[in-house]
């Protein structure tokens, strides 16, 4: 309980200055904080279950780690994939689907009020895109770091 409160306080620290600038709506802030708490719990569980395998972590989420994850390049099936390949290196910008070439509205909540307003949509997209890129769902710490990063982009 104490840790969850601490985490909420931390999430508040990230969200409050952004909020004050009016970049992120109350709804976006609520959904993203909820996701941070969920992923923090899940990260602990993953570490407990998969101790020693090296791909799990329950360290505090950071925007830096989230940015690295967003930019990491993975080559498979003779393709070169990154999250930023479709969502662009600056998530405030409009993206373009690498295969269909269809435009994709900005991923950063500060640049797109529709993002991160529906937990189920976020989860479904996370899972689908992680499968595309890493051939597995992303770990809770990867998702938490990414949320922390996107919340920090103003």
C-beta closer to ligand HEC: residue 48 or 80: 80
Q: Render the chain in DSSP notation, one character per residue.
A: -HHHHHHHHHHHHHHHHHHHTT-S-HHHHHHHHHHHHHHHHHHHHHHHHSTTSSS---SPP-HHHHHHHHH--EEETTEEE-HHHHH-SSTTS-EE-TTT--EE---STTT-TTTTS-HHHHHHHHHHHHHHHHSSPPPHHHHHHHHHHHHH--
Quick one: which segment of 2-10, 19-27, 40-48, 130-138 binds ligand HEC (CB under 6 A)? 130-138
Q: How far is the C-alpha of 93 from the C-alpha of 73, rounded, in Å?
A: 19
C-beta closer to ligand HEC: residue 40 or 67: 67
Query: Judged by CB under 6 A, does residue 115 bind ligand HEC?
Result: yes
String marking each residue 73-112 x if it binds ligand HEC according to CB under 6 A: --------x-x-xxx---------xx-----xx-x-----
C-beta closer to ligand HEC: residue 41 or 132: 132
Task: Choose, by CB under 6 A, the member of 34, 42, 93, 129 that binds ligand HEC.
Answer: 129
Segment 28 to 47, residues that bind ligand HEC, using CB under 6 A: none
Binding site for ligand HEC (CB under 6 A): 81, 83, 85-87, 97-98, 104-105, 107, 115-116, 121-122, 125-126, 129-130, 132-133, 146
């Amino acid at each position: 309980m104490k840790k969850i409160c601490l985490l909420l306080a931390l999430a508040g620290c990230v969200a409050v200055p952004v909020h004050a600038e009016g970049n992120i709506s109350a709804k976006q802030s609520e959904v993203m904080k909820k996701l941070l708490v969920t992923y923090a719990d899940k990260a602990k569980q993953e570490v407990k279950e998969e101790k020693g395998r090296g791909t799990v972590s329950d360290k505090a989420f950071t925007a830096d780690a989230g940015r690295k994850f967003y930019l990491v390049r993975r080559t498979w099936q003779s393709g070169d994939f990154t999250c930023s390949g479709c969502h662009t290196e600056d998530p405030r910008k409009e993206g373009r689907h690498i295969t269909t070439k269809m435009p994709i509205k900005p991923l950063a909540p500060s640049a797109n009020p529709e993002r991160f307003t529906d937990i189920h949509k976020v989860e479904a997209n996370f899972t689908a895109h992680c499968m595309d890129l890493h051939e597995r769902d992303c770990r809770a710490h990867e998702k938490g770091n990414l949320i922390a990063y996107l919340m920090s982009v103003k």
